[in-house]
Amino acid sequence: MYSELKEKVLEANLKLPRHGLVTFTWGNVSEIDRASGILAIKPSGVEYDQMTANDIVIVDLDGELVDGRLNPSSDTATHIEIYKAFPEVGGVVHTHSRNATIWAQAGLDIPALGTTHADYFYGDIPCTRRLAKNEITQDYEKNTGLVIVEEFALRHINPMSVPSVIVAGHAPFSWGKDAGDAVHNAVVLEEVAAMAIATRSLNSGIKIQQELSDKHYLRKHGANAYYGQH
């Protein structure tokens, strides 16, 4: 049962070490089945090279265990808030990939500085506010999700146009139409985060032209996209 979803989520998790996004067991990927309202997620603290589809845990949107013999990722409650607030999201990934985490630690948005960024992210990648003390001591992982959702609402950002966020003092979350797409966006996030650090060291005030951002985002996304084989 859920074996197809578990396989997909296993495969997406295994892409994290392949793309150099994780150290040890850090990082986790989930995918939701919107029809049945359940999600499959990596177990907590299990090594990637020993993980099997059977280790993937199934929970519902209240975080209740549906299937599996291991504890789900400790970040499950964050994934759930993202799925609940962003109905088009089908997969979520959390990593501590080096360069995106550097921006999170610095507490700064990752600025849109070039077309590599614009091909995937329509505008700056937001950094959340810091969580308040009580948001940390109680229901921390759920509140991490809520502060992400709050940031997109306050800034009127469409989460499908900017499919990543960095949480202040912590690390990035990315998402996509499914688990594989979420990991794809996490790889791009890490690359644009690395480029942005050095770009700003060379030219501290630089930004991408708005019309160039529009062009690159829209030639890959939306009704008139002409990149790729569609």
State yes or no: residue 36 binds its own copies (CB under 8 A): no
Question: Binding residue for its own copies (CB under 8 A) from 36, 52, 74, 158?
Answer: 74
State yes or no: residue 116 binds its own copies (CB under 8 A): yes
Q: Which residue of the set 119, 120, 122, 140 is catalytic?
A: 119
Cβ proximity of 93 and 175 under 8 Å: yes
State yes or no: residue 223 binds its own copies (CB under 8 A): no
* Token pair for 200: 């700003």
Please choose, out of 2-10, 81-89, 157-165, 222-230, the segment that lies near its own copies by the rule CB under 8 A. 222-230
State yes or no: residue 61 binds its own copies (CB under 8 A): no
Q: Which is nearer to its own copies, 33 or 178 (CB)?
A: 178
Please choose, out of 9-17, 29-37, 109-117, 156-164, the segment that lies near its own copies by the rule CB under 8 A. 109-117
State yes or no: residue 37 binds its own copies (CB under 8 A): no
In whole angstroms, give the CA distance from residue 76 to residue 68. 14
In whole angstroms, give the CA distance from residue 141 to residue 171. 13
State yes or no: residue 224 binds its own copies (CB under 8 A): no
Q: Which is nearer to its own copies, 24 or 156 (CB)?
A: 24
Angle at which helix 76-85 crosses helix 140-154, to 10 degrees, equals 30
Residue 35 beta carbon to its own copies: minimum distance, rounded to whole angstroms: 29
Question: Binding residue for its own copies (CB under 8 A) from 30, 99, 128, 174?
Answer: 99
Q: Which residue has the tokens 């060379």?
A: 202
Cβ proximity of 168 and 104 under 8 Å: yes
* 122: annotated active-site residue: no
Contact residues: its own copies, CB under 8 A: 23-26, 43-46, 70-71, 74, 96, 98-99, 101-108, 113-116, 130-131, 133, 136-137, 140, 169-171, 184, 187-188, 191, 194-203, 206, 208-209, 211-212, 214-215, 219, 226-229
Residues annotated catalytic, as ranges: 119, 227
